[in-house]
C-alpha cells in the first residue's frame, strides 16, 4: 500500500497534459470494519433497514415542519406511525411522545384539519401507554383554550384531574398541579365575568344576592385549585395575579400579602421581576409606608435597572429624608439611561437634568463623579454625539434641551451636543436656553478642574 500514494503524487515529466495530483490521505477504509463498529453501538445488532427508513422518515417530517409544508409532513407522518409497531421496544416506547408532538403541530397548522380531528387524535394518543395521559390532556386543553372553546377545555381538565393510574412520579405531580391550576384559571375567568355583571347590578336588586353567592362558590373552587400550585417554586404570574385579585375582592388582605411576599421573597422561587411588581402595586393600593415601598423597589432595581417603575422609584427616593436614598436616586437615574430603550425618555432626562443641578448645588460633587467615572468613556458617543444632537433637535426640542443641559453639566460647555443645541435659535425656548447656559457655566463638573 505504501507505493500507492507516491505513485500518484509524484510529478510526471513524460506527461504533456497537465499534472494529475490525486490527493491521497493516509486513511484507509474498511467497509466490513465499518459495519462492525456500527453494530457495536446497537448492541451487536446490525441496523435494520426498518430503523434506517423510519429515522429518515422522521427527518423528512422535521424538515417539512420547518418549511411549513404541512401536506408533506402529513404524508410522512402517515408512514412514520408504523414505529408504534417497532419490534425494538425502546423505540416503541419513545414513539408516542414524538408522534404526539409532531402530529399535534401538523394538525394545528394544516388547513384541512379541524378541532374534531385534533380531538380524536389527542384522545387516541392519550391512551397509548400511561405516561403521556396528563401531558397530552394539558396540551389538548390549551389547544381548545386557544380556539376559545372554554367549556371543552374545562371538561378535558376535569377528566384529567380525576385520572388515577399507577404510581405518580414527581413529574406527574407537577402536571396534576398544573392541570388544577389551569382549571382554577378558567374558573377565575368565569368569576371575573360574573363580577363584571355584578357591578352592573344594583345592590338592592334581588338577583344581587344569588349572583354574589354564585361568585363566592366559584372563588372558593378557584382558590382551592390555585393555591397548591403557587406553593411550588416556579413562575406562575397569571395564576398569582388572579388569585390575589380574588383575595383582595373579598377583603383578605393578609392572605394576599402572604401570597405575594412568598412569591417575591421565597428563595426557592426563581428570580422574577414581576413578582416584585405585583407586590409593589399591592402595597401601593394598601398605602404602605414609603420605607416599605422603597425596600421592595430596591430589589426590583437590582434585577431590572431599566424597568419602567424606576422613575417612580426615583421619585420615592427623592422625597425621602435619608441621604443614602438621595444618592441612590442619582444612581437609579443614571442606570435607567444606560439602556438603549430609554434614550428618548424625556421624563428621565428631565429628572436627570433637574437632579444633577440639585445635587451639584448641594455640593455632592463626589456622587456625580462616582457615577460619571464609569460612564464617561461611552456616554458621550452613546448619547451626546453630533448625530444625536441633530436628530433630537429635529424630533423633540424639549428633549434636546434637557439632554443639552445634562451634557453641559457633565462634559462642559465645549461639548458637541451642548454647542449645537445652544447655537440653535428658537423663540419659545430662548429663555430656557439662557437658563441652561447659565447653569452650565456655574455648575459644570468640568469647571471644577476634573
Query: What is the binding site for another protein (CB under 8 A)?
Result: 1, 3-8, 12, 14-15, 17-25, 27-32, 48-51, 53, 56-57, 60, 70-71, 74-79, 81-82, 84-85, 87, 99, 103, 106-107, 110, 112-113, 117, 120-121, 124, 128
Ramachandran assignment for 113, one of left (phi > 0), alpha (psi -120 to 50 degrees), beta (any other): beta
Nearer to another protein, 24 or 210 (CB): 24
Measuring CA to CA, how many Å separate 167 from each of 132, 137, 163, 300, 385? 13, 18, 12, 41, 66
For another protein, the closer CB: 87 or 170: 87
**Minimum distance from CB of 67 to another protein (Å)?**
14
* Minimum CB–partner distance for residue 71 and another protein (Å): 6
Q: Mention every residue, 6+ apart, whose C-beta is less than 8 A from residue 255.
A: 247
Nearer to another protein among residue 20 and residue 362 (C-beta)? 20
Residue with cell 397530552: 136
| DSSP conformation letters of 167-236 | PPPHHHHHHHHHHHHHHHHHHHHHHHHHHHHHHHS-TTSHHHHHHHHHHHHHHHHHHHHHHHHHHSSS--
Judged by beta carbon, residue 17 or residue 363, the one nearer another protein is 17
Cβ-count burial of 44 within 10 angstroms (0-12 exposed, 13-18 middle, 19+ buried)? exposed
**Shortest distance (Å) from residue 262 CB to another protein:** 45
Q: Which is nearer to another protein, 109 or 165 (CB)?
A: 109
User: C-beta of 190: minimal distance to another protein in Å?
Assistant: 33
**Separation of alpha carbons 313 and 235, rounded Å:** 24
**DSSP letters of 343-383?**
TT-HHHHHHHHHHHHHHHHTT-HHHHHHHHHTTTTTHHHHH
Residue 96 CB, shortest distance to another protein, in Å, is 10
Shortest reach from residue 140's CB to another protein, in Å: 15
CB of 129 to another protein, least distance (A): 11
**Looking at beta carbons only, is 110 or 344 nearer to another protein?**
110
CA dist 326 and 330 (Å) reads 7
Output 73 or 176, the one with its CB closest to another protein: 73
Amino acid at each position: 500500500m505504501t507505493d500507492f500514494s507516491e505513485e500518484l503524487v509524484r510529478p510526471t515529466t513524460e506527461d504533456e497534459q497537465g499534472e494529475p495530483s490525486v490527493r491521497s490521505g493516509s486513511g484507509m477504509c474498511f467497509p466490513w470494519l465499518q459495519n462492525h463498529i456500527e453494530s457495536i453501538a446497537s448492541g451487536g445488532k446490525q441496523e435494520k433497514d426498518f430503523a434506517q427508513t423510519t429515522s429518515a422518515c422522521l427527518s423528512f417530517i422535521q424538515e417539512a415542519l420547518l418549511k411549513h409544508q404541512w401536506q408533506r409532513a402529513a404524508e410522512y407522518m402517515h408512514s412514520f406511525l408504523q414505529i408504534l409497531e417497532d419490534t425494538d421496544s425502546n423505540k416503541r416506547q419513545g414513539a408516542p411522545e414524538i408522534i404526539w408532538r409532531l402530529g399535534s403541530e401538523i394538525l394545528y397548522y394544516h388547513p384541512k384539519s379541524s378541532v374534531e380531528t385534533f380531538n380524536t387524535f389527542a384522545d387516541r394518543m392519550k391512551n397509548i401507554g400511561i405516561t403521556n395521559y396528563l401531558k397530552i390532556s394539558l396540551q389538548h386543553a390549551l389547544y381548545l383554550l386557544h380556539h376559545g372553546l372554554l367549556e371543552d377545555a374545562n371538561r378535558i381538565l376535569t377528566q384529567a384531574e380525576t385520572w388515577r393510574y399507577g404510581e405518580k412520579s414527581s413529574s406527574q405531580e407537577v402536571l396534576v398541579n398544573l392541570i388544577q391550576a389551569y382549571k382554577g384559571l378558567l374558573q377565575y375567568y368565569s368569576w371575573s365575568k360574573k363580577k363584571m355583571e355584578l357591578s352592573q347590578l344594583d345592590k338592592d336588586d334581588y338577583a344581587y344576592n344569588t349572583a354574589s353567592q354564585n361568585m363566592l362558590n366559584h372563588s372558593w373552587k378557584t382558590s382551592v385549585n390555585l393555591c397548591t400550585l403557587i406553593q411550588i417554586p416556579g413562575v406562575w404570574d397569571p395564576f398569582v395575579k388572579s388569585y390575589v385579585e380574588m383575595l383582595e375582592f373579598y377583603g383578605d388582605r393578609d392572605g394576599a400579602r402572604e401570597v405575594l411576599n412568598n412569591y417575591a421573597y421565597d428563595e426557592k422561587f426563581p428570580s422574577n421581576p414581576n413578582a416584585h411588581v405585583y407586590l409593589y402595586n399591592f402595597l401601593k393600593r394598601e398605602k404602605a409606608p414609603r420605607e416599605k415601598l422603597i425596600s421592595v423597589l430596591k430589589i426590583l432595581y437590582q434585577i431590572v435597572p431599566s424597568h419602567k417603575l424606576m422613575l417612580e422609584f426615583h421619585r420615592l427616593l427623592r422625597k425621602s429624608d435619608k441621604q443614602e436614598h438621595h444618592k441612590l436616586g442619582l444612581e437609579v437615574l443614571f442606570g435607567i439611561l444606560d439602556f438603549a430603550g430609554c434614550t428618548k425618555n424625556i421624563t428621565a432626562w428631565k429628572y436627570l437634568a433637574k437632579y444633577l443641578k440639585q445635587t451639584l448645588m448641594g455640593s455632592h460633587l463626589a456622587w456625580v463623579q462616582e457615577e460619571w467615572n464609569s460612564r464617561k468613556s461611552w456616554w458621550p458617543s452613546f448619547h451626546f454625539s453630533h448625530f444625536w444632537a441633530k436628530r433630537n433637535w429635529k424630533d423633540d426640542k424639549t428633549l434636546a434641551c434637557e439632554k443639552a443641559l445634562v451634557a453641559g453639566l457633565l462634559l462642559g460647555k465645549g461639548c458637541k451636543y451642548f454647542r449645537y443645541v445652544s447655537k440653535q435659535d428658537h423663540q419659545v425656548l430662548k429663555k430656557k436656553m439662557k437658563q441652561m447656559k447659565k447653569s452650565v457655566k456655574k455648575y459644570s463638573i468640568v469647571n471644577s478642574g476634573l
